[in-house]
A and B are shown apart, each in its own frame.
Chain A
């Protein structure tokens, strides 16, 4: 099943990971050290973040560095902007309707 961005960012540890790698790409080992977690626990979080494209792996020598994928976050913001616009259209329609009803009553 496709991972859910909402679920991915609902977890405080994953938010902390994203905040950190937005500044600098990190290896799983470096993350485990920074958050005082086991490698297994870090791998689980990486899996969730990776499956919804919020982070991107990049091989560098023998190490894998994870980068923050800002583009994915932008896509998400774009959906929300569309949703906002839908409401704007509807509310403008309601303005007209309310004005018409008031005119009829007068």
Chain B
């Protein structure tokens, strides 16, 4: 269903930065909510068959989202997203670190910038990720991906069915 939606993924290795741009066939305010409300984030922000579980989230400058990605085996990978800047509906920035289940961060982290814009009924989200080190980037990939990679289309559809 998303074949006609733009998806750009670029990496500037020298600048240690990843650029992701994606269009969504939904209104600006709905897409904004999907990225900024815990109950919606938990429904899509872990790649199936992993799932996301937010322990708490204060979407305000200086606030945090503390959440886990949980593998099918029940292993929990905790992360902290600290909201460093918020311009409602347009942009927000986070400083993300992996952590343990007691909210102790594992430094270094990475800086994320999310920008939102609407055009002809579609909403574009541009994400910029700056990692302080390659090791951090490797870890970021491993965390979300190791189990996600084995996700077959079937697994994905099962998860989506439970969402509707």
- Taking a contact as CB atoms closer than 8 A, the residue among B7, B44, B47 that contacts A86 in the complex is B47
Report how far A79 CA is from B142 CA in the complex, Å.
9
B163 contact from A88, A89, A96, Cβ within 8 A: A96
**For chain B, what secondary structure do more than half of its interface residues adopt (helix, strand, loop), or is it mixed?**
mixed
Distance (Å) between the CB of A70 and the closest chain B CB?
14
Answer yes or no: A9 CB below 8 A from chain B CBs.
yes
Bitwise interface map of B from 29 to 65 toward A, beta carbon under 8 Å scored 1, else 0: 0110010000010011111100000000000000000
Q: Which of A23-31, A36-44, A59-67, A98-106 contacts B (4 or more CB under 8 A)?
A: A98-106
CB distance from B83 to the nearest CB of A (A): 20
Query: In the complex, are the beta carbons of B156 and A92 less than 8 A apart?
Result: yes
Distance in angstroms from B135 CB to nearest chain A CB is 6
Of the A-B pairs whose beta carbons lie under 8 Å apart in the complex, a sample of 9, sorted by A's number, is A6-B13, A6-B133, A9-B13, A82-B141, A83-B145, A86-B145, A91-B22, A98-B26, A100-B164
Known contacts A80-B141, A86-B47, A97-B34; 8 further A-B pairs (Cβ under 8 A):
A5-B134, A83-B137, A84-B9, A86-B149, A89-B151, A90-B46, A91-B22, A97-B163
